[in-house]
């Protein structure tokens, strides 16, 4: 394994962790926003939560984005 391969593997690992964190954050954000929106009766918060859920759902099926090798 060369230095370039080692650096590429390290960067791909960081990219995967960042993608997983982002999806997790969006799922948490969606759940909290919808729950608080329902409690507060806020259509805007519910819509924001549903948008976050949509973003998380569209990111989830693509973990291979960082496995091009």
Are 29 and 49 a contacting pair, CB within 8 Å? yes
pTM, full prediction: 0.76
| Residue 7 pLDDT > 60 | yes
Domain assignment of residue 23, given as a range: 3-66
Neighbouring residues of 12: CB distance < 8 A, sequence distance ≥ 6: 66, 67, 69
| Residue 4 pLDDT > 80 | no
- Dihedral angle, C-alpha 39, 42, 47, 48, nearest 10 °: -80
pLDDT digit string, tens, across residues 9-44: 888 888 888 888 988 999 999 999 999 999 999 999
Are 49 and 33 a contacting pair, CB within 8 Å? yes
Are 31 and 49 a contacting pair, CB within 8 Å? yes
Domain count, the chain: 1
Are 10 and 50 a contacting pair, CB within 8 Å? no
């Amino acid at each position: 394994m060369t230095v370039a391969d080692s650096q590429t593997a390290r960067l791909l690992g960081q990219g995967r962790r960042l993608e997983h964190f982002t999806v997790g954050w969006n799922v948490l954000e969606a759940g909290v926003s919808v729950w608080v929106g329902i409690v507060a009766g806020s259509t805007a918060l519910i819509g924001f939560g549903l948008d976050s859920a949509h973003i998380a759902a569209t990111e989830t099926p693509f973990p291979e984005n960082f496995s091009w090798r």
